[in-house]
Amino acid sequence: MTRPDLARWNARFDTDDYLFGEAPNAFLRTQAAALAPGRALCVADGEGRSGVWLAEQGWEVVSLDFSDVAQRKAAALAARRGVSLDLVLADVHAWDYPPAAFDLVVDIFSQFSTPADRLLKWDGMVRALKPGGWLVLQGYTPDQLRHRTGGPSDPTHLYTEDLLRSAFAMLDQPRIIEEELTLHEGAGHRGMSAVIGLAARRGL
């Protein structure tokens, strides 16, 4: 099967620099800081900046992505930091998400999914949460189309509060934070940006 999207991501990652930087996403950092480490799944983790940071905090991390080029860089970053990641090379829309397996599921800027694929992915992610486990997600809102500092240009790939509330209505204690801020995430996400984050918990 030809995967033009995979070839495009591999070409973007084929550089010595880390396209989205080596520091973890700031929203993840704030939301995960208070959680006791356990098993974490980082969906579309790319070059591993979030997975590696979680591993440094004591989490056992599965880092899922379909780009072998990104995963080689994730492994190198983990080695430099003295931690390890369980790298899984797979399509996030087709992966067989193990049920009730993770205390934390992380989804940072995976807005490549069409609305139909997004449902498959999010259904798998929720299934993979243990009872009491947390989902932490961040993406761009439609206001990002004014900034053009990263993210997709197709409005159906962007997130609104209503979309997130309805998609994750089965989860408890939702915290939704929508903000405009300056991102410094490598060359890929740089400058004034309109983002929305969700943290929510699967019921016990």
- The site for ligand SAM (CB under 6 A) is made up of 5, 9, 20, 25, 44-46, 49, 65-67, 70, 91-93, 108-110, 112
Nearer to ligand SAM, 138 or 171 (CB): 138
Token pair listed for 51: 């997975």
Shortest Å, Cβ 86 to ligand SAM? 15
CB of 167 to ligand SAM, least distance (A): 18
Residues 6 or more apart whose CB falls under 8 angstroms from that of 50 comprise 24, 25, 28, 42, 106, 108
Element at 193 (helix H, strand E):
strand 189-201
Shortest spacing between CB 201 and ligand SAM, in angstroms: 21
Question: How far is C-alpha 180 from the chain's CA centre?
Answer: 19
What is the rounded distance in angstroms from the CA atom of residue 26 to the CA atom of residue 185? Answer: 9
Q: Smaller CB distance to ligand SAM: residue 117 or 161?
A: 117
Q: Which residue is nearest to ligand SAM (CB)?
A: 46
Tell me the C-alpha distance between 189 and 204, whole Å.
36
Nearer to ligand SAM, 10 or 160 (CB): 10
Distance CA 121, CA 138 (A): 14
Query: For residues 25 and 31, which CB has a smaller minimum distance to ligand SAM in the complex?
Result: 25
Least distance to ligand SAM, CB of residue 115, Å: 14
